[in-house]
Amino acid sequence: MTAGGTAPEFRATGEADASAMARLHARCFAPGWDEQAMRALLTAPGALGRIAETEGDMIAFALLRRIIDEGEVVSMAVAPDWRRRGLGCRLLADALAAAATHGVCRVTLEVAADNAPAQALYRRLGFAAVGRRRAYYGGVDADVLALDLAGVKAAAPPCAPAADAAETDPRPPGPRPRW
Ligand SMILES: CC(C)(COP(=O)(O)OP(=O)(O)OC[C@H]1O[C@@H](n2cnc3c(N)ncnc32)[C@H](O)[C@@H]1OP(=O)(O)O)[C@@H](O)C(=O)NCCC(=O)NCCS
Q: With a cut of 50, which residues of the chain have pLDDT below it? A: 165-179
Each domain of the chain, given as residue ranges in start order, spans 9-108
159 alpha carbon – ligand 1 mean position (Å): 11
Whether the CB of 89 sits within 6 Å of ligand 1: yes
Q: What pTM was estimated for this model as a whole?
A: 0.90
Whether the CB of 20 sits within 6 Å of ligand 1: no
CA–CA–CA angle 155, 156, 162 (5° rounding): 170
Best residue among 84, 107, 108, 111 to mutate for probing ligand 1, ranked by most atoms within 8 Å of CB: 84
- The string of pLDDT tens digits covering residues 33-68 is 999 999 999 999 999 999 999 999 999 999 999 999
56: region left, alpha or beta (phi > 0 left; psi from -120 to 50 alpha): left
CATH topology assigned to domain 9-108: Aminopeptidase (3.40.630)
CA–CA–CA angle 14, 61, 97 (5° rounding): 85
